[in-house]
Amino acid sequence: SEAMVEVKNLKKHFDIGNGVLLKAVDGVTFSIKRGETLGLVGESGCGKSTLGRTIIRLYENTDGEVLFKGKNAHQLKGRDAAQFHRDVQMIFQDPQASLNPRMTVMDIIAEGLDIHGLSKGARADRVKELLELVGLSKAHASRFPHEFSGGQRQRIGIARALAVEPEFIIADEPISALDVSIQAQVVNLLEDLQQDRGLTYLFIAHDLSMVKHISTRIGVMYLGKMVEMASSNELYAEPLHPYTQALLSSIPIPDPTVKRERIILQGDLPSPANAPSGCVFRTRCPKAIPQCSAEVPEWKEVGSNHWVACHLYQ
């Protein structure tokens, strides 16, 4: 099906002084199809959140392009930019921090609706509808964020995102801060909403076990680069990049007859302000060859819809 989002050689570099550039996102290319969920994983500091924030224009890009429904998102102005900011919404990791503690749930959820000039009654009706949609009660509208549990606050964040009828939602670790018992409920809610409304998701998580169930495809990032992307099933069955192999090897397998050797990565994650030459993973890669320090591996499609950046496959 048609691509909703196309990210082309996207870069987001931060100037951190003394001529040092922190290359948080450094030349990333992929697309997201309408109606799918692209899971995005990698250790903290690998650029996942920055990528999400650059796509939605919380950050302006340093280089490259984001096309949303075929149009260059970073060049949209006026009405088109306003429409983009309704079509694309973000859900954050920490609902506590992203909900204004002095606003009622009514006002938080209705914030994005206020430009529509709704009557007070229509505004209240719409908020109550949204609360019920995310599994809360309309009686919650007059309360404040601190009166809710973490899972409920995330539902409020989801209702706020849905208020403006978005098509594409970037969920930045939406369940990482929640109790394990609540995580599945929030994932189920996001899946139900996707089915009912044909939503497209970019679902960011720090760990592969969280995204397997919800994702159509999964992308793996390391130090500002996308290193592998494939369908969820294929990535689990046949990971190609040594980093993906290491991440997967640390996930317990429920079937005791399947043996997977645990791969322990040596060394620390380098700083994105001082990334290794050649392949950014080479300082920790158990399979590195001499070429890896000299040449940046190309981002290449090596199987049907299976992309990898590694010299072992070129």
| Residue 68 amino acid letter | F
Q: Which does 112 bind (CB under 5 to 8 A by kind): ligand SF4, Mg ion, none?
A: none
Partner in contact with 98, chosen from Mg ion, ligand SF4, none, beta carbon below 5 to 8 Å by kind: none
**Which does residue 242 bind out of ligand SF4, Mg ion, none, counting CB within 5 to 8 angstroms by kind?**
ligand SF4
Q: 311 touches which of Mg ion, ligand SF4, none (CB within 5 to 8 A by kind)? A: ligand SF4
Going by C-alpha positions, the residue among 128, 159, 130, 153 that lies closest to residue 141 is 128
Smallest gap from Cβ 48 to Mg ion, in A, equals 6
Between residues 133 and 263, which has the closer beta carbon with respect to ligand SF4? 263
Facing residues of 301 across strands? 307
Residue nearer to ligand SF4 on the CB measure, 162 or 235: 235
Q: How far is the CB of 284 from ligand SF4 (least distance, A)?
A: 8
Q: How far is the CB of 288 from ligand SF4 (least distance, A)?
A: 4
Q: Could you give phi then psi for residue 193, rounded to 5 degrees? A: -65, -40
In whole angstroms, how close is the CB of 251 to ligand SF4 at the nearest point? 19
Q: Say which entry of ligand SF4, Mg ion, none residue 49 contacts (CB below 5 to 8 A, set by partner kind).
A: Mg ion
Letter for the amino acid at 127?
A: V
Interacting partner of 310 out of ligand SF4, Mg ion, none (Cβ under 5 to 8 A depending on kind): ligand SF4
Number of CB atoms found within 10 A of residue 60's CB: 8
Q: Are 31 and 195 in contact (CB under 8 A)?
A: no
CB 62, min distance to Mg ion, A: 19
On whether the CB atoms of residues 162 and 195 are closer than 8 A, the answer is no
Strands lying side by side in the sheet with 306-308: 88-91, 168-172, 200-204, 37-41, 217-222, 225-231, 306-308, 300-303
- 49 vs 154 by CB, closer to Mg ion: 49
Report whether 159 contacts 131 (CB < 8 A).
yes
Q: Report whether 207 contacts 269 (CB < 8 A).
A: no
Residues that bind ligand SF4 (CB under 6 A): 241-242, 279, 281-282, 285, 287-289, 292, 297, 310-312
DSSP 136-176: --GGGGGS-GGGS-HHHHHHHHHHHHHTT--SEEEEESTTT
44 vs 293, beta carbon nearer ligand SF4:
293
**Nearest CB to ligand SF4, comparing residues 123 and 282:** 282
User: Whose Cβ is closer to ligand SF4: residue 193's or residue 221's?
Assistant: 221
Binding residues vs Mg ion (CB under 5 A): 49
